[in-house]
């Protein structure tokens, strides 16, 4: 969790006060600090690249805003894309095709054709996908996603590496898959696995690396296949709570790279951080619009709900909150911070000790850069909010707020219903 210093009871973000940002752009609004984004990328890139040649594949599903992507392109990032839409977005942001890796699941033939037409390498998830790809472009560069039977994550919904998950080719069949790929004329370049999301310990990453190294060595010995890279996936967590500690990425890099260098001939490691790079760069600002007290609870009603940030409701996730215009003041009363959505599950925070609130106060929801706007919706016909980028005291609008017209634009009413 990022720490912010109070300046005259105001919360600063990127050299600006949160209240000034809210005044200029309205609420709710996602606010991203460019310097924090660059710092996060450089920290993890440095940790790995000092150990061995490294490719950082930013997992753009976390946040695919074009401005965010442009910053990461400038930093030298590659891309982990999970759909043709993400591929198109990253191409538009200026990434060359060979710096994007398409890692889909349940991929249709049509999507394979589109990805191939863009010249983007493909990370194969199944025998079916591989065989269909071979009929489209038999010499296309590929890697393989193995299910390593090593799973971890902050919620059952995000554990991807267990043998019961839908992802990847079972490790017992992966050598067979590479053998068939060679017979089909495909060009295997790498090996990939992903254990889950929000992982805060080094051990699961070590375990999956050992699985990948063992497979790479077997491929060398049985098929004479020397891969270019091992991709250990993403899922590095961040501390959402004050008392939690950040992942030691220097230790993580040493543990992973030492096993690759000593166990096989692969010369490059790839890693796919998304949350780690972008989560703590962004604060969601939302205004208190209604206050309600019952015999059981005290509610602070705000103008952002689970249509704006779904993680607390969907995953039971914790996000720290503070009062940006009363920043640093001690807590007095316990509040549930709730939104305008017509659902009892619409909340951003529960039982939080905050300064006494008034209508018009500004709530800051921390660590909202990953899977915040990306998972937002138009539920209850509420338009999605603005995004703003701040840097050294200046702010730029990087996404307009939607309108009701945007929600209705693609709907069609049959003429027979117009009578």
Q: Which residues are catalytic?
A: 342
- Residue 274, both tokens: 């998304």
Tell me the chain's radius of gyration from C-alpha atoms.
23
| Contact (Cβ atoms closer than 8 angstroms) between residue 276 and residue 315 | no
List Cβ neighbours of 39 (8 Å cut-off, separation of 6 or more): none
Of 185, 105, 197, the closest CA to residue 151 belongs to 197
What are the CB-based long-range contacts (under 8 Å, 24+) for 210-214?
Answer: 210/259, 210/263, 211/146, 211/148, 211/149, 211/150, 211/171, 212/146, 212/148, 212/260, 213/259, 213/260, 213/263, 213/264, 213/266, 214/263
CA distances from 210 to 52, 230, 254, 345, 358 (A): 17, 11, 13, 41, 55
| Contact (Cβ atoms closer than 8 angstroms) between residue 156 and residue 112 | no
| Contact (Cβ atoms closer than 8 angstroms) between residue 152 and residue 145 | no
| Contact (Cβ atoms closer than 8 angstroms) between residue 357 and residue 321 | no
User: Please, what is the Cα angle at 223 between 222 and 229, to 5 degrees?
Assistant: 110
- Residue 92, both tokens: 């538009």
């Amino acid at each position: 969790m990022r720490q912010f210093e109070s300046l005259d009871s105001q919360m600063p973000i990127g050299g600006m006060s949160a209240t000034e940002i809210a005044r200029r752009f309205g609420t709710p609004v996602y606010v991203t600090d460019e310097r924090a984004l660059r710092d996060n990328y450089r920290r993890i890139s440095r940790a790995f690249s000092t150990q061995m040649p490294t490719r950082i594949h930013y997992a753009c599903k976390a946040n695919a805003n074009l401005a965010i992507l442009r910053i990461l392109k400038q930093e030298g990032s590659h891309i982990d894309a999970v759909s043709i839409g993400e591929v198109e977005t990253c191409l538009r942001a200026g990434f060359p095709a060979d710096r994007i890796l398409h890692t889909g699941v349940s991929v249709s033939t049509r999507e394979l054709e589109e990805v191939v037409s863009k010249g983007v390498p493909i990370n194969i998830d199944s025998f079916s996908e591989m065989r269909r790809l071979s009929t489209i472009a038999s010499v296309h560069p590929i890697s393989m996603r193995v299910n390593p039977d090593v799973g971890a994550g902050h919620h059952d919904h995000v554990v991807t590496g267990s043998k019961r998950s839908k992802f990847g080719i079972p490790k017992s069949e992966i050598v067979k898959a590479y053998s068939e790929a060679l017979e089909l004329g495909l060009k295997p370049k790498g090996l990939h696995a992903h254990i889950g999301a929000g992982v805060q310990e080094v051990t699961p990453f070590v375990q999956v690396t050992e699985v990948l190294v063992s497979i790479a060595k077997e491929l060398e010995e049985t098929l004479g296949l020397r891969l270019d890279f091992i991709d250990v996936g993403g899922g590095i967590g961040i501390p959402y709570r004050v008392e939690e500690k950040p992942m030691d990425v220097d230790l993580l890099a040493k543990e992973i790279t030492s096993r690759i260098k000593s166990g096989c001939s692969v010369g490059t490691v790839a890693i796919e951080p998304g949350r780690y790079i972008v989560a703590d760069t962004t604060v969601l600002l939302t205004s208190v619009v209604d206050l309600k007290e019952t015999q059981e609870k005290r509610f602070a009603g705000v103008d952002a709900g689970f249509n704006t940030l779904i993680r607390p409701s969907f995953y039971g996730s914790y996000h720290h909150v503070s009062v940006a215009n009363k920043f640093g003041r001690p807590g007095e009363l316990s509040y549930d911070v709730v939104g305008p959505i017509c659902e009892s599950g619409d909340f951003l925070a529960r039982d939080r000790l905050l300064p006494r609130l008034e209508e018009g106060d500004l709530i800051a929801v921390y660590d909202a850069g990953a899977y915040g706007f990306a998972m937002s919706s138009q539920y209850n016909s509420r338009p999605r909010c603005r995004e703003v980028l701040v840097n050294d005291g200046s702010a730029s609008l990087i996404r307009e707020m939607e309108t009701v017209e945007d929600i209705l634009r693609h709907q069609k009413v049959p003429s027979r219903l117009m009578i």
